[in-house]
Amino acid sequence: GIDLVAGGRSKKARRTAPRSDDVYLKLLVKVCFFFFRSQLPSLIIQDYLHKVGKNCLIVFLIAYRTINVQVLLRGPKNAREAVRHFGKAPGVPHSNTKPYVRSKGRKFERARGRRNSRGFRV
């Protein structure tokens, strides 16, 4: 099983399943099975070319030997639009926080402190 409960923040984390039931190992087996199953037609062609007598290396196999295949599982958390609203309150000096406004028109949070033509601007 998985040792880390709640993202590793639990101090009472212990195994809930036998070590042989590792979900990550099972996932790795499934991924490898899918990988080899998707590459099966090209491997059959490679075997055929070997029987004919021509030496053949598939481009995919060359790339697989040279590079590490990395899968992006999670994007950056601070790229969310909601993060723009966090921080210093909008209207406070030197805050770039985005206010929750219904509309971006002239009559919506565009009074004193927001426009040069209305006395001052922060």
Q: What is the DSSP string of 58-120?
A: -HHHHHHHHS---------GGGSGGGGG-SSPBTBTT--PPP--S--STTSS-STBB-GGGS-
CA atoms within 13 A on the CB side of 39: 14
Q: Angle at Cα 24 formed by Cα 21 and Cα 30, nearest 5°?
A: 95
User: Residue 1's pLDDT is what?
Assistant: 47
Same domain, 58 and 14: yes
> In this structure, are 54 and 81 located in the same domain?
no
Residues 85 and 58 in one domain: no
Is 81 inside any structural domain? yes
Domain assignment of residue 111, given as a range: 77-122
Mean pLDDT in the chain?
76
| 82 and 120 share one domain | yes
- Domain total in the chain: 2
Q: Is the domain of 13 the same as that of 51?
A: yes
Unique residue bearing structure tokens 């590792």: 22
The domain boundary residue, chosen from 66, 87, 112: 66
Q: For the chain, which ranges sit under pLDDT 50? A: 1
Whole-number pLDDT of residue 24: 79
Do 14 and 57 sit in the same domain of this protein?
A: yes
Strand-pairing partners, residue 114, are 121
